Amino acid sequence: MNHKQPLALAIATLLYPSFTLAEQVNNDEIALPPVTITDTREAALKSETSASTSQISQEELNFLQPGHPSEVLNRMPGVHVNVTGGEGHMTAIRQPISTSAVYLYLEDGIPTRSTGFFNHNALYEINVPQSAGIEVSKGPGSALHGSDAMAAVINVSTKAAPEETEGDVSLELGSFGWQRLLLGGGTASLNHGIRADINLTHTDGWRDSTEYDRQSANFRLDSFLDNGVKVKTVLNVSNIDQQTAGSSRLLEDDYKNNPTRNYTPISMRKVESLRLSSAFEKEVGASLYSITPYFRYNSMELLPNWSLSYDPNTYKTENKSAGVMMKYRQDFAPMRTRLIVGTDVDYSPGSMDQNRIDVTKEGNYYVDYTVEEKLYDYDVTFSSVSPYAHVETSPTDKLRVNAGLRFDHMRYDYENNLTDIDTGNHRRPEDTDVEYQHLSPKLGLTYAISEHLNTFASYRHAFRVPSQGQLFRQGKSINTVELEPVKVDNYEIGLRGNTDSKVNYEISVYYMVKEDDILTFKHADGSRETQNAGKTLHQGIETGLTAPLHADVDLAVSYAYTEFTYEDWQPDGSTDYSDNEIVAAPRDIGNVAVGYHPSQLNGGKVELEFSHLGQYWMDQANTETYKGHQLLNLRFNFPVTPAFKMSARIMNLEDKTYATNASFSRGVATYAPGMPRTAYVSASYSF
């Protein structure tokens, strides 16, 4: 291979190392079939991937111009992301709407956080609107993914360096003081290129005391060295300062008549994150050598609004991570066999500092507080070593079989900086070490029924260890240090196809059993206790379809129907939730988008989107339901010139009242109101 090839070709080989570069056409453009990259950290034919995957391209992201990750992800089959204020979110993919650590969030294939310090708001630490695309692999991950990869793996890609010097700027204004400036650009020499993207966002918030500020920057350096090594170095930094009320629910009367009210104006969240990685790859014949060292820093200072009524506190948690992902791939000619072996190593020291606060309450409002005694102060280090093996082979031209095995050895080293307490509502365990070892098998196959139709089936086992907060912020639980890891067995079959008329469709059916699920039991006094449940069952069907209805009209449809139940859960001697449906688990999720793009719009488009969230139980006893909601969104963009584009979008076009989260506790229903009708307009210029 010529190591002096232009940067565009070098970047293509970096992104798609498993494909031949002999398909150059039209000045080094690369013609590639539909691919997925999440399962093996390399491009692979989607038709030969035994998992249900959904992608959002950079082109679609540019059209959507999302103000929140939900505006992107909720278009995928079986995916629901709600809004908890600013860019905060809870996710429901084959799971209820929750903060559970059952999703693995990646950026360019690298976990954005350590397993021990999971944050359900992971996507606000990623610069989503300036990314190159998002892929969601639903269900447990492959052997290349460890703890947390139980319900889905979400991988966000960064933008590569450009072939030539270029730049772009976008200014957006919107309702409730929304302002966003996006700057991007880069340059290249023969074998090196650099790109930078900056996101500056501010909103006053549509509810009282919900101001939000974000500053993010991405820097990426792509290099193709003379010795054949491809290097991708990425630096991401983010700072988020937020007054939060998104999960601060209202009583029903205020929810319907005064949704801008915020009972918890004292709540806040400050987040800092930094990620630095360098991926080194070299192909030698049929072999690929890959090593990716990385460093991460995460800090979060928080006054949680959800616990003000039963456990008022403020805390700060931070951690640093150093790790390396090592992989070796070898291809063999017989039966197109591919072997991938590797090891992931992570070392993440961190800390927790939490204080009780004495709050001042006026009516329903928490208006002030004073900091009282320290509840928790500890240092904890999470470390893991995880070797794995993955093999693929094709016994026949139409059949492809894959199998994988991963062994995870994980450890927490915990040191309590306060006295040990074994009674009360804030028990503190003594200094201890906690270790976990687990073997996770994977098996799958794909079969090409015809040129335009293929099917897949898979069995994947996965697990996740408890997070450091679940283990060592004991609360009133008897012994959280002895929490068991969650185990899951997922069985899935699917069908994918397309037609000559560019209709694409996919359908998958899954059956997932979780053992020792870590759940929170709400006591009658409002306090909560973390414990292992015996078993939960998650099953459903997911469908997706894209089709051109006319030369100027296209259609995208996604729909999922689910049933989630507590199969075995008796949280105390007098309570049995077995056979109940899981709280906050929507019965169905749907999305329909119709786009109109006549020639008069110069390549622009008008889109009407319909979003549906089905009903769910608001309490674990299954006595009250949230009926769900349907929303309409309208988007429009128009290229005035090839370089200058105007865009607009109106979210919640009908100005409906709806809840992003609803619950029922101690005889009272509360609702977190969703945003009313909201309008945005932007101007973009590229050069």
- Taking the CA atoms of residue 578, residue 583, residue 588 and residue 594 in that order, the dihedral angle to the nearest 10 degrees is -160
**pTM as predicted:** 0.93
Mean pLDDT, residues 134-153: 94
Cβ(344)–Cβ(146) under 8 Å?
yes
User: Per residue, what are the HEC states of 175-209?
Assistant: HHHEEEEEEEEEEECCCEEEEEEEEEEEECCCCCC
Higher pLDDT, 189 or 77: 77
| Closest to 624 (Cα-Cα) out of 662, 578, 672 | 662
| Closest to 426 (Cα-Cα) out of 524, 307, 532 | 307
pLDDT tens profile 436-468: 999 999 999 999 999 999 999 999 999 999 999
| Closest to 527 (Cα-Cα) out of 369, 313, 247 | 313
Indicate the residue type of 603: G
Q: With 60 as the cut, is the pLDDT of residue 25 above it? A: no
What is the SS3 assignment for 71?
Answer: helix
How far CA 145 is from CA of 134, 460, 514, in Å, comes to 17, 11, 18
Beta-bridged to residue 296, according to DSSP, are 275, 321
Beta-bridged to residue 186, according to DSSP, are 166, 195
pLDDT at position 18 is: 35
| Closest to 678 (Cα-Cα) out of 642, 644, 653 | 653
Class of residue 18 by CB neighbours under 10 A (exposed 0-12, middle 13-18, buried 19+): middle
Tokens of 76: 């995928």
Cβ(402)–Cβ(375) under 8 Å?
no
What is the SS3 assignment for 322?
Answer: strand
Q: With 70 as the cut, is the pLDDT of residue 218 above it? A: yes
Strands (E) across 304-431 are located at 313-332, 337-362, 365-393, 399-416
What is the SS3 assignment for 674?
Answer: coil
| Closest to 195 (Cα-Cα) out of 217, 232, 162 | 162
pLDDT at position 217 is: 97
pLDDT tens profile 392-435: 999 999 999 999 999 999 999 999 999 999 998 899 999 999 99
Cβ(16)–Cβ(30) under 8 Å?
yes
Mean pLDDT, residues 2-9: 39
Mean pLDDT, residues 546-571: 95
Q: With 70 as the cut, is the pLDDT of residue 526 above it? A: no
The model's confidence at residue 1, banded by pLDDT at 50, 70 and 90, is: very low
pLDDT at position 571 is: 86
Cβ(457)–Cβ(508) under 8 Å?
no
Query: DSSP secondary-structure letter at 15?
Result: H
Q: With 50 as the cut, is the pLDDT of residue 676 above it? A: yes
pLDDT tens profile 269-322: 999 999 999 999 999 999 999 999 999 999 999 999 888 988 999 999 999 999
Domain-wise residue ranges, the chain: 7-686
Q: With 60 as the cut, is the pLDDT of residue 29 above it? A: no
Mean pLDDT, residues 243-262: 89
Say if strands 152-157 and 103-107 run parallel, antiparallel, or are unpaired.
parallel
The model's confidence at residue 33, banded by pLDDT at 50, 70 and 90, is: low
| Closest to 180 (Cα-Cα) out of 199, 206, 204 | 199
- CA atoms 466, 468, 471, 477: torsion sign: negative
CA distance 274 to 131: 16
Strands (E) across 421-534 are located at 432-450, 453-464, 486-498, 504-515, 518-522, 528-532
Q: With 50 as the cut, is the pLDDT of residue 32 above it? A: no
How far CA 665 is from CA of 248, 321, 627, 660, 662, in Å, comes to 14, 39, 17, 17, 10
Q: Which fold has domain 7-686?
A: Maltoporin; Chain A (2.40.170)
- To the nearest whole number, what is the mean pLDDT of the chain? 92
pLDDT tens profile 152-211: 999 999 999 999 999 999 999 999 999 999 999 999 988 999 999 999 999 999 999 999
